[in-house]
Amino acid sequence: MAQLLSFTTCNLYNLNLPGKAIYSDADGWTTDQYNAKIAWLGRSLTDMRADVFGFQELWHADALADLMARAGIADSHVPLVPPDHDGGRIVCAGAVRKDILEDEPEWISSFPDNFKLQDEGDDEQTPDILVQIRGFSRPILHFTIRPVASQAAIHVFVVHFKSKAPTRISSNAWYDRAIQGPHAKALGSALSTIRRTAEAAAFRMLVTDRLRGNHDPLVVLGDINDATLSNTANVLTGQPNYLFGQSMGGGDDALYTVQTLQQYRSTRDVYYTHIFQNERESLDHILVSEQFYDNSRDRIWAFERMDLANDHLNDLDHKATGSNDHGIVRAVFSLDPA
């Protein structure tokens, strides 16, 4: 039987200890709400059990410890949380099987030194542009695993990009309610889009530097707050071609979404991980390098299947049920070098 390797990405919906503030909510979760969250998430992660978990929206290390115990993975997996993570900020986190984790995890807050979004315009009609952003809204988690001693280590990144929600501009010194007030939503949405696009481009630079010119496998787990065919996803993936013969394709620094890999195995697509105003979108993704792409000349791991838990998105009150507001995605691969 072929050796299997699985990855799960899960947005924890502001998992903090009860009574601790979450953004402007000074009271946070009640004890009952917290217990409901841990119970629901524990069942969900048991169902979507994986060798590697990537989490978004974790506020407290102790909350992840409670969750791992409830999910039955406290003995088999190592929690990946920044030191002294005590409920004051939100980060990406992880849980990895003890026997495959290599080295120490790192959290990347700053954009690459050579990142620059500045342009004088393609022609005389195009105004200059300058975007001054130097870091990620949510630090990116990076670690390596080695499931098979004879194969290359796998780089894993857990990401969480800026949401589509309009940035609240009213607290800025330049804001004038009479002037910008009527346009606050449009301006805020534009700011969120610019920030998310910049984060995608900066992370893409990290991915390109990591992948180009070598055969290192790489996996991205996360909530990019945008859909599969969005510009955010296009920046991340490099828009690779998928339709090649067996072991004939693959891009050196390309990323492939498991949603598309699954679509090639199915006659129907019902992939969505978030609902807002009755719109169903896929915001949560697992992206893989060519070493996980069936048709790549450089394949190491073959795609087996993608699993998606999203029925809970129809819950009317996530606080009451303990459910989260994003779907949970799992991808399974088998060791099968080209």
Which positions ≥6 away from 124 have C-beta within 8 Å? none
Residue 60 pLDDT class (50, 70, 90 cuts):
very high
Q: What percent of the chain has pLDDT over 70?
A: 94
Burial of 263 (0-12, 13-18, 19+ CB in 10 A): middle
Give residue-wise pLDDT tens across range 91-127.
Answer: 999 999 999 999 999 999 999 999 999 999 888 899 9
DSSP code of residue 150: T
Q: What does the pLDDT read at residue 267? A: 59
Q: In terms of CATH, what superfamily is 4-335?
A: Endonuclease/exonuclease/phosphatase (3.60.10.10)
Q: Please provide the DSSP assignment of 246-298 as one string.
A: TTSB--TT--EEHHHHHHTT-S------EEETTEEE--EEEEE-GGG-TTBTT
Residue 225 pLDDT class (50, 70, 90 cuts):
confident
Of the listed ranges 8-17, 33-42, 249-258, 328-337, the least confidently predicted one is 249-258
Q: What percent of the chain has pLDDT over 90?
A: 67
| E-only strand ranges, 23-152 | 52-60, 77-80, 86-97, 101-110, 117-119, 129-131, 135-145
Average pLDDT over residues 305-321: 83
Average pLDDT over residues 183-189: 94
Q: What does the pLDDT read at residue 251? A: 78
Mean pLDDT for all residues in the chain: 90
Give residue-wise pLDDT tens across range 137-177.
Answer: 999 999 999 999 999 999 999 999 998 889 999 899 998 99
Question: 50 and 156 in contact (C-beta within 8 Å)?
Answer: no
- The most distant pair of C-alpha atoms in the chain lies apart, rounded to whole Å, by 68
Burial of 212 (0-12, 13-18, 19+ CB in 10 A): exposed
Q: Which residues of 298-313 are buried (b: 16+ CB within 10 A; e: fewer)?
A: bbbbbbbebbbbbebb
Check residues 312 and 113 and name the one with the higher pLDDT: 113
Check residues 322 and 3 and name the one with the higher pLDDT: 3
> How many CB atoms are located within 10 Å of the residue 241 CB?
10
Q: Which residues does residue 331 pair with via DSSP β-bridges, in sequence order?
A: 7, 306
Residue 335 pLDDT class (50, 70, 90 cuts):
very high
Residue 279 pLDDT class (50, 70, 90 cuts):
low
- Distance between CA atoms of 135 and 268, rounded to whole angstroms? 39
Helices (H) and strands (E) in the chain, counts: 7, 16
Which positions ≥6 away from 270 have C-beta within 8 Å? none
Write down the pTM of the prediction. 0.92
Annotated domain spans of the chain? 4-335
Average pLDDT over residues 21-39: 94
Q: What does the pLDDT read at residue 323? A: 87
Q: What does the pLDDT read at residue 188? A: 93
Count of residues for the chain? 338
Residue 246 scores a pLDDT above 70 = no
Q: What does the pLDDT read at residue 268? A: 58
